[in-house]
Structure 1
Amino acid sequence: MKKWIYPITLVISITSTAVESSEKDYLEEVNKAFRTVAEETKNKTLTEKISVLNRLLNEFSDNEIVHDALLQEIGTTYSFMGEYNKALASFDKRGLAAKTIPQDVKTLVPDNARSALANEAEKYQIVMINEAHHVPQHRVFTHRLLDDLWQRGYRYLALEALSENAEHELDKGYVSEKTGFYTAEPIFANLVLHAKRLGFQLVSYDYGSDVSGDTEAREKAAVNNLRDKVFNQEPEAKVVIHVGYSHIDESAWLAHYIKASLNSDPLTINQTDIAQKSEAQFESETYTWLAENHSFEHPFVLTDSDGELWSLKPDTYDVNVVWPRTSYQSNRPEWARLDRQQRIVDKQWCKGHFPCTVEVFRVGRDNEIPADRVIVSKQSKETAIFISDDSGLIQVSNAQGDVIHTEVLK
């Protein structure tokens, strides 16, 4: 595994801790602590970074704000490593309270989310889909939906995750470490390349405001960037916007400012509010009831007796997408397959260096983001990597990032 420069992410979801102080004070305290964290994790491999973050978690155990932010950072790092359940568990340790089930949920009818939302999108010019940044599964839904949205005239994909003017980085045929922070996660890199293959124009927009400033300044800057890059030249352009968490909020966040500034009501899709957790005890009653009372293999939406899409928070967003519980094959989530073939990892590739990192590349450039990544320990069960027709190279490295084995695939 290369020694990527993995910057510390800005706090990505704010708990009740932040409510007790102002949002600005909360962010300032987190950013101050994370400057120290950034120095200690600079040029570290993911395996090394997790070790540092867990140590710091203990050191900051008496600081609730920083402790919470570190749990988020640990969860995000585990997601980059392909350790998806550990990513969920890190966030579950934050102790967010589960909410009671709305009674109308029990009367609703599930419908395939991809087909239902593709049809619904025909009524809109802008579609906004959110994700939890530590849950790559949410990127898979956007990946799938893009095929249907392309057929319905959508031609732009705006990603919160892209670095400023990262569009220029995307002409290389692979995703580089300069493309963005979250795009360095393999599922996200696959989403970017899939969009490019379909013909979407990628758009960066989340820049131009002080990252420690308030939400309003950030969202207004984002809308201005979208207008400058897309709507000034093509007022009727149909755009997909993939965002984190609350940016789909039509009452206060990006969706609100898009509606007000561009005079276009977006279709807002939430994947984060009704979701699987690392253990059932952390799940909302709504998710648990749905999982136990409906049999489904694919993400679904809920509809009422009139066939209208249902939302847990209708004043905030339009519809919830609910994923089934994750199924695994060879220690890998089925949703992460993306129509690829599995190849079992040979532990001898690690040459006794555990944990080792196994990565699949298309091109094999120094700054290329892998198409797949797994961490293999001495105790690991049988584990697979995902291979596609354009996979060119398997590369195995030790915890320090030194390459110890290579397999050429084509």
Structure 2
Amino acid sequence: MKKTLLILIVFSQTIRAQVNVFDRTYFSYEIEDGLAKNQFGPSAAATMYSLQGDYLNAVFLSEIDVSWGMDTVDMSQCIFTSAYDRILKYASKHQVVIISEAHLKPQHRIFAKKLLVGLKELGFEYLGMETLSSLNNDNDLLDTLIHKRGFPLNSQITGGYTLEPKMGDLVRQALANGYKLFAYEYTQPIKGVDRDQIQAENVIRFLKKIGSKKMVIVCGFHHVIEGGMKKRGTQRWMANIIKDSLGIDPLTIYQDNFTEKFISEEHNVLNKGGITEVSVCVDDKSNIIKWRQEVDIEVIHPKTKFVNGRPDWLKENPDYKEVDIPVDSITMEFPMIISAYIASEYDKGVPLDRVELKSKYVLKPLILSSGDYVIELKNLDELKTFNITVK
């Protein structure tokens, strides 16, 4: 019996290892089938859903709990104010700003993208991203032409999470604002060295290279922890290692503790209805309240409202509009994945939006800003395109 169990476990792991979630955009029925057959786990499936624009199915499969006791913190005395303005005021005093995101929550990327605009005006020049591809734990990008081209490739050459439309647009807008990108993720394991240690050493090497110039880092989840909270055993988190090694104080920003939860418990402040914009909690002197030593700033995101099946935060500003797909004139079979590419980037770039349509009776609009687009319709057998202009 023990031998049989061992064989089954090894076989299952072998199958899962063959699935690359970033290989292409998967249809929902493929994801459901893969989960049922144990070809991959919930985390991989969640990423697949995220890449095809299905926020709800993604977050229902994978998320982390509210961390370091923030689920019970008393916020009754909080004054909620715009996170954007307050963070920029604090950032002006720092050389390094580290912004954490939950990989399945594109609203975090939308807010980080907005922050990058203001940070550039404060003199921040460099942007390091966990998602950017490199070789041999190097800062140099695998996508060597990205600064010249001005947008991310719809390929893992640029990165993995950059294939998600809002992360792709974060990179696009960072380049448009003049940021110089660098990689820091570990791409080659080092025996006996933890991932966060390798990440931190890569960032430290780059910081020493640029001297006193300012950088922003966009990382995932707990890599942003600068306090003494251990990862496991004696292992430490990336931001903590950077802080102790260089004697600098990064401004650390965490977004997930006060973003809606679907699997675990969320803080009750999110259910009181008073949060209508991305916010921070300040005291009566307008100082951001710091509850714990893990990070400097806890960002509070409004709960998502769905309009015609799409999250409301996709309309980042008044320039974004709903664009209906003329399904009655489409002769292709459903389901299909609809992608909206900036016209000048088509066949190379990451789409600005993407959605799966399972039938002509369950429709969801694209959410696009003004401009020229190539709309791509794709099922398992066919691919068609047409051009539109959003005004």
Distance in 1, Cα, partners of 2:379 & 2:322 = 22
Higher helix share: 1
- Which residue matches 2:60? 89
Matched to 1:136, the amino acid is P
Distance in 2, Cα, partners of 1:101 & 1:193 = 35
Distance in 1, Cα, partners of 2:215 & 2:22 = 36
Bigger mean CA deviation after superposition, 135-144 or 386-395: 386-395
- Which residue matches 1:19? none
Distance in 2, Cα, partners of 1:133 & 1:196 = 21
Q: Is the 8 A contact 1:209 1:221 kept in 2?
A: no
SS of residue matched to 2:375: strand
One of 234, 247, 257 as aligned partner of 2:210:
234
- TM-score when normalising by structure 1: 0.79
Distance in 1, Cα, partners of 2:52 & 2:10 = 24
2:199 matches 1:217: no
Identity fraction in percent: 24
Q: Is the 8 A contact 1:167 1:203 kept in 2?
A: no
Q: Is the 8 A contact 2:340 2:374 kept in 1?
A: yes
Q: Considering only aligned residues, what root-mean-square deviation do their CA atoms show, in Å?
A: 3.0
Distance in 2, Cα, partners of 1:134 & 1:43 = 14
Distance in 1, Cα, partners of 2:244 & 2:238 = 10
- Which residue matches 1:186? 165
Relative distance call for 1:261 and 1:357 in structure 2 (3 A) is same
One of 348, 352, 366 as aligned partner of 2:328:
348
Relative distance call for 1:31 and 1:366 in structure 2 (3 A) is farther
Distance in 1, Cα, partners of 2:54 & 2:23 = 18
**CA-CA distance at 1:38 after TM superposition:** 4.6
2:250 matches 1:266: yes
Distance in 1, Cα, partners of 2:10 & 2:172 = 32
- Which residue matches 1:37? 16
Give a deviation string over 1:1-30, Cα, whole Å, max 9, x none.
xxxxxxxxxxxxxxxxxxxxxxxxxxxxx9
SS of residue matched to 1:119: helix
**CA-CA distance at 1:158 after TM superposition:** 0.8
Relative distance call for 1:388 and 1:322 in structure 2 (3 A) is same
**CA-CA distance at 1:117 after TM superposition:** 0.6
- TM-score when normalising by structure 2: 0.82
- Which residue matches 1:150? 120
**CA-CA distance at 1:43 after TM superposition:** 9.1
Relative distance call for 1:131 and 1:355 in structure 2 (3 A) is same
- Which residue matches 2:377? 396
Bigger mean CA deviation after superposition, 35-44 or 382-391: 35-44
Give a deviation string over 1:79-104, Cα, whole Å, max 9, x none.
11111111111126x9x589784353
Relative distance call for 1:85 and 1:380 in structure 2 (3 A) is farther
Distance in 1, Cα, partners of 2:13 & 2:125 = 38
Q: Is the 8 A contact 1:207 1:218 kept in 2?
A: yes
**CA-CA distance at 1:392 after TM superposition:** 3.0
Distance in 2, Cα, partners of 1:43 & 1:223 = 25
Give a deviation string over 1:133-171, Cα, whole Å, max 9, x none.
111111011011111111111111110000011452412
Relative distance call for 1:232 and 1:40 in structure 2 (3 A) is closer
Unpaired runs of at least 5, structure 1: 1-29, 61-65
Q: Is the 8 A contact 1:209 1:217 kept in 2?
A: no
SS of residue matched to 1:110: strand
- Which residue matches 1:22? none
2:47 matches 1:76: yes
Q: Is the 8 A contact 1:162 1:204 kept in 2?
A: yes
Relative distance call for 1:102 and 1:162 in structure 2 (3 A) is same
- Which residue matches 1:25? none
Relative distance call for 1:91 and 1:409 in structure 2 (3 A) is same
Relative distance call for 1:395 and 1:31 in structure 2 (3 A) is farther
**CA-CA distance at 1:409 after TM superposition:** 4.2
Give a deviation string over 1:69-88, Cα, whole Å, max 9, x none.
71111111111111111111
2:316 matches 1:338: yes
Aligned counterparts, 1:276-355, within 5 A: 276-278=260-262, 282-284=264-266, 286=267, 289-312=268-291, 314-339=292-317, 340-348=320-328, 350-355=330-335
Matched to 1:257, the amino acid is I
- Which residue matches 1:21? none
Q: Is the 8 A contact 1:154 1:237 kept in 2?
A: yes
Q: Is the 8 A contact 1:269 1:321 kept in 2?
A: yes
Bigger mean CA deviation after superposition, 244-253 or 231-240: 231-240
Give a deviation string over 1:278-337, Cα, whole Å, max 9, x none.
4xx7432x2xx213335232111112345432345x121112111101123332222123
Unpaired runs of at least 5, structure 2: 1-8, 135-140, 229-235
**CA-CA distance at 1:348 after TM superposition:** 3.1
